[in-house]
Chains A and B, each alone.
Chain A
Amino acid sequence: MSEIPVAGQPATGEGAALLSVDDVSIQFGGLKALDHVSFDVREGEILGLIGPNGAGKTTCFNVMTGVYQPTSGEVRFAGSPLGRRKRFAITRLGIARTFQNIRLFGNMTALENVLVGADAHHRTNVIDALFRSPRHRREEREGEETAREVMKFLGLERRADELARNLSYGEQRRLEIARAMATKPRLLCLDEPAAGFNPAEKAQLMDLIRRIRDRGLTVLLIEHDMSLVMGVSDRVAVLEFGRKIAEGVPAQIRNDPAVIAAYLGTEVDDLDDEEANL
């Protein structure tokens, strides 16, 4: 495997805050989707973000990636506030994400999808492209290298020329991760990446998430599958009705009465079944 050198950040979760969600609220009409939520994602950790359906997890991602402006509060990335930055600018800053509902560019090939991600940092313009300038050639070469490396990392190298929409469901999920990783983010946000996976696939995904972290990326993971989140996360934050009700290492969360109550008293580990009929 010719992976990018391992950053080797241990899973202590002791790093400095890479992303700070600071007292963020957002309101949709009468509904407070996020209500004074604060948490930090520390450099090099895997932070799990859990909560029942409609708790505001995806909304949280949307605020962090510039899709929504918070009604109050702010998000800081690597120390500086996101402010009213455009979505593409936030991506260039180093936050990348996947989507709960797969949103690939269906009529482009898998490779092209990933290339679009790699293009995030490219500057080739019309003139460069028309005259095949050195910049164009350098960026094409660099982009393709990045894309192929990332696709290989995700086991998609043999599907490169397939149209995205012709990939299997699992491959599409991984292609979304590949596309996000190609933007060379410092923080990778995964929105329910295991939705619809069987246990074997979930185990592979856990392994994958750890390997992503080992490449030096910080991971923020939204997931419903408790065993997956608990197994892979260094720390977990819990949302319910737009409020953060708990935060801590998995062992603490597992025994937190508020969390157990939020899941209607169900054993936290049984939640897979509930998820299955959504």
Chain B
Amino acid sequence: MSEPHIPLREGSTAGGVPASTVGQTDDMGRNRFGWDRLALSRRVTALPRPAKWALIGLFVVLLYLLPLLEIPILSTPDTDFGAVLFTVASYVLVALGLNVVLGYAGLLDLGYVGFYAVGAYTVAVLGSLQAQLSWWLLIPLAVVITTISGILLGAPTLRVRGDYLAIVTLGFGEIIRLTALNTEWLGAAKGITGVPRPPSVELFELPHLQWEGATAVIDLDDKTKFLVFGVADQAPYYWLALTVIFIVLGADRMLRLSRVGRAWEATREDEDAAELMGVPTFKFKLLAFACGAFIGGLSGALFASRQGFINPESFQLLLSILFVAAVVVGGAGNRWGVIMGAIVVAYLPERFRGFEEWRLLVFGMALLILANFRPQGLIPPRRTRRAQAVDEQLDALEEGTDRV
């Protein structure tokens, strides 16, 4: 308790070796969590290249077709499936953004919804309430403004120590929402209507499937117009979001495998040591914050232009908590895990809307159970998995490692 803010003081257990270096996974029980279920991914990796790409391509096509397939168990009986898919996709996007901040750089941001709100409000205020800019201008504008707000917010707060950062960001998230709530210029409590939708071009129509038992027939009465961003049929929004996700995933990978990604990770692992190895940690933390804000703002902007209407209610503190839950439940630091987590957090409550009343209870219990029995996340970072395998081989001879 008294130690952590004293840098590099030797003999201090708290400030010394990062917890993750020694105890954690070793004590985590070598065999307690087997990751055998991931054998599938290993088998895919082992495939010859063309086959692998074909498989991935197929999967991508399937993802795009999802709203048309109307797969019985998957589809949500109580809400438009396209809309649900969009919700899930926007959670995935947000989770990918938060993963940069939380998973890579290790910064606990409990006010991430603030960035989401800034993105959404930029589109709504400048697209409807105070000006009528074009959607094509609004999206980049929203992203730029959110990124700047991320930097402005990070510059003072990132000097605050780890746990305080959580509460300070939480405070800022609330300040943003309350400011929107109390400012007439921002639409106050009644919110903003008529948020511009993405411009439509009607090219062709795509029929949906209809299932009778296990057989599917093409349903010619149920068609999605490509590419019309309307109110009733939300599939196009999902396609838009999915496309953005793929772009973000690509960028994420580029950053991860570079000096930037390494600097983030080193900062997360041991900030003092990183700084002493030549990493300007503050700059990189700020950069992580800015990247996170960028993605958060982008998804907020998409959300607003899908919704057509926003008010401060849409940006409750609770949402920040859900975002963090999505990242951690999936496995902070692993983009596939994070995607899984976002799907769990967004999809399950929608799927079980019929049980409206109980769903938050079930959700809370699910978080509790996942945290306790799957502490590394649904899909832990690859390295953790590999460490698990190595740990199993480690024998008593290596006791010396713990002497640190």
Using a CB–CB distance below 8 Å, which chain A residues touch chain B? Answer: 58, 62, 65, 67, 86-88, 91-92, 96-97, 99-109, 112, 115-117, 119-122, 124-126, 128-132, 136, 139-140, 143, 162-170, 172, 179-180, 183, 196
Contacts and interface: CB of A to CB of B under 8 A. Distances in A.
Contacts of B391: 166
Nearest to B10: A100
A102 B402 CA distance: 11
Contacts of B11: 101
Contact of A166 (B7, B269, B272, B387): B387
Contacts of B404: 101-102, 169, 172
A128 B281 CA distance: 19
A168 B398 contact: yes
Contacts, number: 156
Contacts of B265: 105, 107-108, 112
Given A124-B259, A129-B254, A130-B255, A103 B278 contact: no
Interface stretch (B14-22, B58-66, B124-132, B154-162): B14-22
A136 B255 CA distance: 11
Given A103-B272, A129-B254, A168-B400, 10 more contacts: A87-B276, A88-B275, A109-B383, A117-B278, A119-B262, A126-B291, A132-B254, A136-B258, A166-B391, A172-B404
Nearest to A121: B278
Nearest to A62: B8
Contact of B280 (A62, A88, A102, A130): A88
Given A88-B278, A196-B403, A107 B270 contact: no
Contacts of A163: 383, 386-387, 390
B263 A116 contact: yes
The 8 closest A-B pairs by CB, nearest first: A120-B278, A106-B21, A129-B258, A105-B269, A91-B278, A169-B400, A103-B273, A124-B259
A107 B279 contact: no
A180 to B, nearest CB: 7
A224 to B, nearest CB: 13
A206 B255 CA distance: 40
A171 B108 CA distance: 32
B40 interface: no
A162 B291 CA distance: 29
Contacts of B261: 129
Interface in B284-319: 287, 291
B280 A86 contact: yes
**Chain B interface helix/strand/loop/mixed:** helix
Given A102-B17, A116-B266, A164-B21, A183 B278 contact: yes
B265 to A, nearest CB: 6
A5 B394 CA distance: 38
28 contacts: A58-B8, A62-B8, A67-B7, A88-B280, A101-B11, A102-B17, A102-B404, A107-B381, A108-B269, A109-B383, A115-B262, A116-B278, A117-B278, A119-B262, A122-B259, A124-B259, A125-B260, A126-B287, A129-B255, A129-B261, A140-B259, A143-B259, A163-B383, A164-B21, A166-B391, A166-B394, A169-B400, A169-B404
B220 to A, nearest CB: 44
Contacts of A107: 20-21, 265, 269, 381, 383-384, 387
A168 B255 CA distance: 30
Interface in B233-276: 251, 254-255, 258-263, 265-266, 269-270, 272-276
B18 A58 contact: no
Contacts of A105: 265-266, 269-270, 273-274
B17 A101 contact: yes
A135 to B, nearest CB: 10
A105 B279 CA distance: 13
A129 B272 contact: no
Contact of B276 (A97, A109, A172): A97
B217 interface: no
Nearest to A119: B259
A132 B254 CA distance: 8
A278 to B, nearest CB: 10
A146 B304 CA distance: 49
A187 B183 CA distance: 58
Given A112-B265, A126-B255, A165-B21, A67 B260 contact: no
A87 B259 contact: no
Given A105-B269, A105-B273, A168-B398, A92 B21 contact: no
Of B259, B262, B274, B280, the most chain A CB neighbours within 10 A belong to B259
Contacts of A136: 258-259
A196 B400 contact: yes
A130 B387 contact: no
Contacts of B73: none
A239 B390 CA distance: 42
Contacts of B39: none
Nearest to A163: B387
B269 A106 contact: yes
Contacts of A166: 387, 390-391, 394
Given A108-B265, A129-B260, A166-B387, A99 B273 contact: yes
Contacts of B400: 168-170, 196
Nearest to A125: B260
B297 to A, nearest CB: 16
Contacts of B2: none
A21 to B, nearest CB: 18
Contacts of B277: 88, 91, 96, 116-117, 120, 179-180, 183
Contacts of B8: 58, 62, 67, 99
A219 to B, nearest CB: 17
B258 A140 contact: yes
Nearest to A183: B278
A106 B21 CA distance: 5
Interface string B1-34: 0000001101100001110111001000000000
B41 interface: no
A253 B287 CA distance: 50
